[in-house]
Structure 1
């Protein structure tokens, strides 16, 4: 039998350039993923002894859109043990008329929180949670930025001066996913404006923590200015893919991926990270609203088991401050659809916290 010619290693590499590149690429990916996972495990272990702080975002306008009473909704959340709220201060609601501020709605939220010794993260600035993201009043819509920016900062000053004396006010969130251009009706993303707003908040209330939120699933680290006291990140797991598959899409990121983001940020920037929005409401398909789809359809993106899993996923990231997104929706499911399943899960989680 004829012997097969042996290919020396050096000849092999010269003759198999593509194979060589593939092997190198696999080694780089393996090393990168291994490093990311190692950082994540370090961060998760380092945070494990710290107390878990669960909270919710609460937006009265969203409760109203679902057909439930906002004050009763907040009362219900307090009753099931929610002690941490992220509130909004929409510019177009507070200053509907130029120079005239109406704090009625935000006042009662602070009063309820203070009466129950709850803590508040107050979002300030132009871009705040929920559509259309940038909540500019009609009277400022057609003004150039050199006119509306000073008016925006005057409104921010009025908000901060009104509530900085509240014992419930814990932190400020400045804007919301400020640099995210793919979502929301916004026109200005200049870093200069964000820096100016940050300096304003710190000047008016220097002793309180200021948070800046990162975009969901964004790679990289926020090394530019401003450098806030803390960062937050949004975590969404199950959405409707309107562009390609036209099906519900489950993001494949393991919990440790977010642990890596938080851990690497802790190492390089020495900044803490929280989950500012943990998806905890259904996602309606085909640009519909929640009220336009059936309960069965809602359950395809969020049911009681998924909500339990979502809380566990948030905890598995290692981050110890987690704010659920969709608490008004839980109340709507209970009061309007007569389905208390999500409310009961939330009750169990917050009472145990």
Structure 2
């Protein structure tokens, strides 16, 4: 019996050593210096009137000032279902019409996102009257998306559709339980392709918290988030100990198993992630997770993934700092990067 227990103990110890060795090996590989980088990476921004309003900004003025002041060439916009359908069965696309028209006037390429989950907190934007019935919610979602695609598919500057935003990241955001599943995403993608076969469809996922497969296999183009510094109440600020090879390894994985080789960084961190809401933190606190220096660093990091393009997440904050706090440091740092 003692020999048996000693055998079990050795086997358990061997397994632990093997796992630890794998972790150490992965850490070394992921953080191995990357010599080459994509110096031709294209940069754009995301913009949300919902987030701009939450910062107390005039969302239209902020949008125009950002487009013109930063000479934006690429942008990711979204349609917020709960904002469009405030009365059951009645759609008001006036806000989205205006956003897209101003981008079209300036020949700005647009990624257009829609679904239950779209960029910005609280992530899920479901009209109140569709919260409780899954069947009704999905049927009305598809009807709303059909109207939306038919309304905007003649905008020549829309370069791709984005179906949902990180649909397979269930634990982030204020969303009904199982609000989105693979079957729903499949139906959304299929409907989009039926209504407009001329444009690619992008599906996105978390860069650090997912293996990408479920999103990548459904998409013509896969979009990943990329964050470097986040905040967790239990541990405080946390820097991901992952080099660009972490993203290259995952890119290889989906290339082999999902036959997906088209990857963009759909959400590149360019605003703080701290213990409080933005306007409740001092500039010093905000700069702990995002600053001009950190913006330049994450830009170089993104280039070393060797993906084709990246969309900064934080333009509304740069503008807020500039106009409300008389601090143009982030604005100028971003302008320098975007103008290259």
Q: Hey, what's the Cα distance between the residues in 2 that align with 1:31 and 1:192?
A: 37
Q: Hey, what's the Cα distance between the residues in 1 that align with 2:151 and 2:281?
A: 40
Instruction: Indicate whether 1:340 and 2:331 are aligned.
Output: no
Answer yes or no: is the 8 Å Cα contact 1:60–1:70 preserved in 2: yes
The alignment's TM-score, normalised by the length of structure 1, stands at 0.85
Structure 2 unaligned spans of 5+:
1-8
Q: Hey, what's the Cα distance between the residues in 1 that align with 2:118 and 2:146?
A: 16
Instruction: Indicate whether 1:66 and 2:55 are aligned.
Output: yes
Identify which of 251, 259, 272 aligns with 2:248: 259
Q: Hey, what's the Cα distance between the residues in 2 that align with 1:184 and 1:19?
A: 40
Aligned-residue CA RMSD (Å): 2.7
Match of 1:11 in 2: none
Match of 1:301 in 2: 289
Answer yes or no: is the 8 Å Cα contact 2:204–2:215 preserved in 1: no
Shift of 1:25: 5.2
Question: Which structure has the greater CA radius of gyration?
Answer: 1
Shift of 1:151: 0.8
Identify which of 249, 273, 280 aligns with 1:292: 280
Q: Identify the range of structure 1 (83-92 vs 301-310) with the bigger mean alpha-carbon deviation.
A: 301-310
Answer yes or no: is the 8 Å Cα contact 1:262–1:319 preserved in 2: no
Distance change in 2, residues 1:32/1:162 (3 Å): same
- Would you say how many aligned residue pairs link Structure 1 and Structure 2? 330
Q: Identify the range of structure 1 (151-160 vs 308-317) with the bigger mean alpha-carbon deviation.
A: 308-317
Question: What secondary structure, in the 3-state scheme, does the structure 1 residue paired with 2:168 have?
Answer: coil
Match of 1:189 in 2: 180
Match of 1:83 in 2: 73
Match of 1:115 in 2: 105
Identify which of 112, 126, 142 aligns with 1:153: 142
Question: What secondary structure, in the 3-state scheme, does the structure 2 residue paired with 1:274 have?
Answer: strand
Question: What secondary structure, in the 3-state scheme, does the structure 2 residue paired with 1:206 have?
Answer: coil
Match of 2:303 in 1: 315
Q: Hey, what's the Cα distance between the residues in 1 that align with 2:115 and 2:247?
A: 26
Q: Hey, what's the Cα distance between the residues in 1 that align with 2:121 and 2:24?
A: 40
Q: Hey, what's the Cα distance between the residues in 2 that align with 1:31 and 1:158?
A: 50
Q: Hey, what's the Cα distance between the residues in 2 that align with 1:225 and 1:312?
A: 25
Distance change in 2, residues 1:239/1:23 (3 Å): closer
Q: Hey, what's the Cα distance between the residues in 2 that align with 1:22 and 1:152?
A: 48
Question: What secondary structure, in the 3-state scheme, does the structure 2 residue paired with 1:300 have?
Answer: coil
Q: Identify the range of structure 1 (75-84 vs 273-282) with the bigger mean alpha-carbon deviation.
A: 75-84
The alignment's TM-score, normalised by the length of structure 2, stands at 0.88
